[in-house]
Amino acid sequence: MAELLELYAEALGDFLDEMAGWVARRAGALFSGRILDLGCGTGTGTFALLRESADASVVAVDGSDYMLAQLAERAWRLGVEKRVRTVRADLDEDWPDFGAVDVVWTSAFMHHLADPDEALRRLFATLRPGGLLAVIEMNGFPRFLPPESGGGLEERCQALVDEQTAEAMPHMGDDWGARLTEAGFVVEEERTFEAELRGPLPHAARRFAQVSLGRTRERVGESLPAEDLARLDALLDVDGPESVLRREDLVVRASRVAWAARRP
């Protein structure tokens, strides 16, 4: 997962910057204050946020020591370690006292929580009055094959992944606008962000496709028809002519839905 996050940031850096820039504009002057990044992973969002302000600091929160160590190392390499504080926490178990913050960013994380409504109530209390909460959620998994040549393979894989996700993460795809309103926030904007990269693609984008599709195979390979499994394996075969590392028609398409909500 750490490698996948890093490849995502490298391949879709402009996409991340677009979302971070949107949050910075919505937050206004508050963006130069304290930002809380919930479910930060290796820091793909953290560093996108820091690029938007020379004054902001980020409290980066995750449940994985490994992810936080990767984030801290990168912060040191970039010379921004004094602007980043890492906090390890399982937010289904315990909420540390983060202190008052001006902006909260949570990307592809809220659906993991067992009780997101309780989390939103806690975030409401953590934000200063007038503070901004940005909830960014996945709008499907990335796609890599052009529609005219994909033959529906990715759609069938996605349907199987969705079945698994519905059981393991029942809050995936929830109406976060309604949840935010119920928690006391004022939803200012809901927006969909779309990205599409076409060839010639750099190696990082191709590697992102390879790792993503490899994770898909791990999850649903046993449920795929033999023909689909063979096609997926051909895409993952580094030496084969259909490999995503070689295909000239490879694309990278990603989509996120974002809500900007204010604490009155």
Alpha-carbon gap, residue 202 to 199, rounded angstroms:
8
Token pair for 14? 């402009």
The model's pTM is 0.93
Which segments of 79-152 does DSSP mark as H helices, in order? 116-126, 147-150
Strands 186-198 and 251-262: antiparallel
**What is the model's pLDDT at position 169?**
74
Q: What are phi and psi of 106, to 5 degrees?
A: -140, 115
- Distance between CA 103 and CA 31 in Å, rounded? 7
Taking only the tens of pLDDT, the chain with its 264 residues reads: 888 989 999 999 999 999 999 999 999 999 999 999 999 999 999 999 999 999 999 999 999 999 999 999 999 999 999 999 999 999 999 899 999 999 999 999 999 999 999 999 999 999 999 999 999 998 888 999 987 776 899 999 989 988 887 777 778 778 899 999 999 999 999 999 999 999 889 999 999 999 999 999 999 999 999 999 999 999 999 999 999 999 999 999 999 999 999 999
Domain 2-262 -> CATH class? alpha beta
Q: Which residues pair with 253 in a beta bridge?
A: 143, 196
Domain boundaries, the chain: 2-262
